[in-house]
Amino acid sequence: MAGIGLSFDPTHVRSNGLATWAVKHGSDAARYPLGRLSNSDIDFKAVEQLDSLSRNRAKAYNIKVSARALNTQNTCVTTKEYTGMLALLNVFGRAVYDQSFTDVDAQAFGGPFGLSAKFHVDNNDRYVEFTAMYRGPLDNLSVATLYGVDEVMGTPSANGTPNALDVLYQLNALPDVIPPAGIYKHEVSFDGGSTYEAIGPIINGTLDIEQTLTKEDTQGRVYPVNLKVVVALDSAASSAERALLDSASGVSWHRITLMDQTQLVFSSGVGITWNWKAKGDADSGEQLITFGGQGVIPLASWTSGATASPLLCSAV
């Protein structure tokens, strides 16, 4: 049997990090880039089985790629309608995604992976974290309709020509802007959205909107069904507010404004909870009320521009 080509070669030492990640939804005409990336992680490993002498026998592979997309700026195009990363949270992962990756050393790979997304914002960060996954055969067991190692590690085809009818076409004009992190304002309503009351001043605030991964096919690709929303913040106001905590229970409406004035309204889909904490002494302690809430909403309810969508553009 001939050698496979391994050698000691220091020039093969490479830098880490993804330079580009482009995705194509279903039957779209082109792949579209996910913008500026950070915190990339690639895990490409053999799926093995031990034989009768407890020797590893590789039979397939798993690949998982994740990175944070930083271009989460949203554009208000009409009343109650945004374009941008957030507006596509109900689309990402709802089909097989032809994807291509290039690392900072121009090494390329790709394939028909699954895709999931999670939006996160806190005092310091704001991003959409994408995760791609696939399970395929080794090349000596490859099937024509599946991607073996050589196909995944081969140079992907060109991204193609964008088409205005593509599902992901708005990524073609994704603003090259990294918006500020942080939650600008958090308001709640206990009368169905007729009146809102602001919580604050906000000391720490986080918001996570994550696709729930409830379906996985035999090739390791996941297909999200819902969005899970989790919000938490520390409020420095705790005097008169303490007497109101009994009323701040159960399901409520949340209106959250991000630092770039993107506004999210969760109507009855997110609950509310609280925790009053007083710690330390007058010269070194703190007194806070932590408010939080979570809930699951269907992906179909996220459609930008729909009356009931949480993604409401009020700037126009």
Token output for 151: 């196909």
- The three-point CA angle 231-34-104 to 5° equals 115
pLDDT for 67 equals 96
Instruction: Give the span between the Cα atoms of 58 and 284, in whole angstroms.
Output: 58
Q: Where are the domains of the chain?
A: 17-47+58-302
Average pLDDT over residues 141-169: 82
Residue 290 has pLDDT above 70, yes or no: yes
> Got the DSSP string for 31-65?
-EE--SEEEEEEEEEEEEEE-TT--EEEEEEEEEE
Residue 213 has pLDDT above 60, yes or no: yes
pLDDT for 316 equals 37
Instruction: Give the span between the Cα atoms of 201 and 288, in whole angstroms.
Output: 10
CB 235 within 8 A of CB 200: yes
Residue 6 has pLDDT above 80, yes or no: no
Q: Where does 213-262 show beta strands of DSSP type E?
A: 215-216, 222-223, 226-235, 250-258
CB 170 within 8 A of CB 32: no
Query: What values do phi and psi take at 10, rounded to 5?
Result: -60, -20
Q: How far is CA 202 from CA 219, 240, 264, 286, in A?
A: 44, 16, 17, 14
- Smallest CA-to-CA distance from 221 within 213, 211, 229 is with 213
Residue 48 Rama label (left phi>0; alpha psi -120 to 50; beta): beta
Band of residue 84 on the pLDDT scale cut at 50, 70, 90: confident
pLDDT for 105 equals 85
% the chain with pLDDT above 90 = 22
CB 285 within 8 A of CB 238: no
Residue 80 has pLDDT above 70, yes or no: no
Instruction: Give the span between the Cα atoms of 72 and 179, in whole angstroms.
Output: 7
Residue 2 has pLDDT above 50, yes or no: yes
Token output for 213: 């991964």
> Got the DSSP string for 178-205?
-PPPSEEEEEEESSTTSS-EEE-SEEEE
User: Other CB atoms closer than 10 Å to residue 152's CB: what's the count?
Assistant: 20
Tell me the three state secondary structure of residue 240.
helix
Kindly report the average pLDDT of the chain as a whole number: 81
Residue 153 has pLDDT above 70, yes or no: yes
Q: Which of 135-149, 155-169, 302-316 has the lowest mean pLDDT?
A: 302-316
Q: How buried is residue 106: exposed, middle or buried, by Cβ count under 10 Å (0-12/13-18/19+)? A: exposed
Q: How far is CA 20 from CA 16, 80, 98, 130, 180, in A?
A: 13, 31, 14, 13, 22
Q: Which residues pair with 69 in a beta bridge?
A: 37, 128
Q: Which of 38-47, 139-148, 155-164, 272-281 has the lowest mean pLDDT?
A: 139-148
pLDDT (tens digit, 9 = 90+) per residue, 103-134? 888 888 998 888 999 999 999 999 999 999 88
% the chain with pLDDT above 70 = 83
pLDDT (tens digit, 9 = 90+) per residue, 217-244? 878 787 788 888 898 888 876 666 665 6
Tell me the three state secondary structure of residue 301.
helix
Enter the pTM of the model.
0.87
Instruction: Give the span between the Cα atoms of 74 and 185, in whole angstroms.
Output: 17
